[in-house]
Amino acid sequence: MPELPEVETVRQGLRGLILNKTIANVEVRWGKIINGDSAKFTNDLVGETFKEVDRRGKYLLFRLSDDLTLVSHLRMEGKYRVTPQAQEVTKHTHVIFNFTDGTALRYLDTRKFGRMTLIKTGTENQVGGLKTLGPEPTAADFQVADFAQRLRRHKKAIKPTLLDQNVVAGLGNIYADEVLWLSEIHPLQPANTLSPAQIQVLHDNIILELTKAIQAKGTTIRSYTDAYGATGGFQLSLHVYGREGEPCERCGVTIEKIKVAQRGTHFCPHCQILPGSQVSAS
């Protein structure tokens, strides 16, 4: 699933490809992608112009004329491509926005899990998922004191707590493993047992690692590509994710992979020590 750095990279690419383009018509080839009435969705978008592309957590927010916003979540495999309208439509293309200039924005999704919702701009907090999102992982929005307070509410392991988008927006499986390794915190340590020092280090590493991943245009493990079809580069900088069986670059001990809350989780058993025997993977 694209995480915050990948969605931000897609956002930046789309800005250069679709801003100020006007929609001539919309084709919905798989109706379940659209939340609500797909016929109304297509009718309401005719004549609208893309004015900006924003992001909140893992959500893309396409700002349109007439105070409309298209909320898009890519889920597991969603991708956007800008093509000539005459170009052959591929098998996994499910929504097509045809522009008046002869180009088209196409949404592709092999798993068909992605979703789009058309709303009035300013009502984003009424959209399920968006209304409960935690702070953006930036120095301006992500405060240590608030982070500590949110962690104290959770007795479950820190790994699934970080995946909870209500705690901090944008972290997924890859970057949760990475920031825990960087912070030398075991993924099974209960969130409410982290010390103030651990919370500070984890907080800082979340901001730093996601910033670096954005600069590298995201991480490509399986199928992620940006709006131009290019792969990311941050997979070359991963310390622990996908490296089970390899030596930890910090201490040399073999990286292990376990299941935590049904998610594959990578960690170093030497660098990331679980205090006591208090474990809960729920």
Average pLDDT over residues 127-131: 91
- Residue 280 pLDDT greater than 60, yes or no: no
Query: Tell me, what's the pLDDT at 217?
Result: 81
Angle between helices 144-152 and 196-215 (to 10 degrees): 110
Token representation of residue 89: 């439509």
State the virtual CA torsion across 282, 184, 1, 168 in degrees, nearest 10: 80
Tell me 194's DSSP state.
Answer: -
Query: Tell me, what's the pLDDT at 145?
Result: 98
Query: Tell me, what's the pLDDT at 277?
Result: 53
Whole-angstrom distance, CA of residue 103 vs CA of residue 31: 22
How many degrees, rounded to 5, is the angle at CA 3 between CA 117 and CA 49?
A: 35
Question: Does residue 136 fall inside a structural domain?
Answer: no
Q: Residues 157, 281: contact at Cβ < 8 Å?
A: yes
Query: Tell me, what's the pLDDT at 76?
Result: 85
Q: Residues 93, 108: contact at Cβ < 8 Å?
A: yes
- Residue 281 pLDDT greater than 60, yes or no: no
| Number of residues written out for the chain | 282
Which of the listed residues 98, 126, 154 is the one where a domain comes to its end?
126
127-141, 210-224, 238-252, 254-268 — which is least confidently predicted? Answer: 210-224
Reported as a pLDDT band with limits 50, 70 and 90, residue 278 is very low
Question: Does residue 281 fall inside a structural domain?
Answer: no
Compare 76 and 181 and report the one with higher pLDDT. 181
Question: Does residue 274 fall inside a structural domain?
Answer: no
Whole-angstrom distance, CA of residue 243 vs CA of residue 92: 31
Average pLDDT over residues 123-149: 95
In the chain, the number of structural domains is: 2
Q: Are residues 177 and 236 in the same domain?
A: yes
Mean pLDDT of the residues in the chain: 93
Percent of the chain whose predicted confidence (pLDDT) is above 90: 85
| 160: nearest Cα among 181, 136, 190, 129 | 190
Give the catalytic positions in this structure.
2-3, 58, 263
Boundaries of domain holding 149: 144-267
Question: Does residue 41 fall inside a structural domain?
Answer: yes
Query: Tell me, what's the pLDDT at 16?
Result: 95
Q: Are residues 110 and 198 in the same domain?
A: no
The count of C-alpha atoms lying within 13 angstroms of the C-alpha of 259, restricted to the half-sphere facing its C-beta, is 3
Q: Are residues 110 and 25 in the same domain?
A: yes
Question: Does residue 135 fall inside a structural domain?
Answer: no
Reported as a pLDDT band with limits 50, 70 and 90, residue 279 is very low
Reported as a pLDDT band with limits 50, 70 and 90, residue 219 is confident
Q: Are residues 198 and 98 in the same domain?
A: no
Query: Tell me, what's the pLDDT at 70?
Result: 98
Number of CB atoms found within 10 A of residue 247's CB? 12
Q: Are residues 172 and 91 in the same domain?
A: no
Question: Does residue 261 fall inside a structural domain?
Answer: yes
Whole-angstrom distance, CA of residue 267 vs CA of residue 257: 7
Q: Are residues 155 and 193 in the same domain?
A: yes
Question: Does residue 230 fall inside a structural domain?
Answer: yes
Q: Are residues 244 and 149 in the same domain?
A: yes
Q: Are residues 105 and 164 in the same domain?
A: no
Whole-angstrom distance, CA of residue 7 vs CA of residue 58: 6
Burial of 280 (0-12, 13-18, 19+ CB in 10 A): middle
Average pLDDT over residues 96-123: 97
Q: Are residues 240 and 160 in the same domain?
A: yes
Average pLDDT over residues 35-57: 97
Strand residues in the chain grouped as ranges (E)? 23-28, 50-56, 59-64, 68-73, 79-84, 93-99, 103-108, 115-120, 256-260, 263-267
Q: Residues 72, 57: contact at Cβ < 8 Å?
A: no
- Residue 98 pLDDT greater than 60, yes or no: yes
Q: Are residues 152 and 120 in the same domain?
A: no
Read off the CATH number of the domain in which 8 is found.
Answer: 3.20.190.10
Percent of the chain whose predicted confidence (pLDDT) is above 70: 94
Read off the CATH number of the domain in which 251 is found.
Answer: 1.10.8.50
Question: Does residue 276 fall inside a structural domain?
Answer: no
Reported as a pLDDT band with limits 50, 70 and 90, residue 2 is confident
Q: Residues 24, 45: contact at Cβ < 8 Å?
A: no
Q: Are residues 206 and 263 in the same domain?
A: yes
Which of the listed residues 57, 92, 126 is the one where a domain comes to its end?
126
Q: Are residues 118 and 223 in the same domain?
A: no
Query: Tell me, what's the pLDDT at 232?
Result: 72
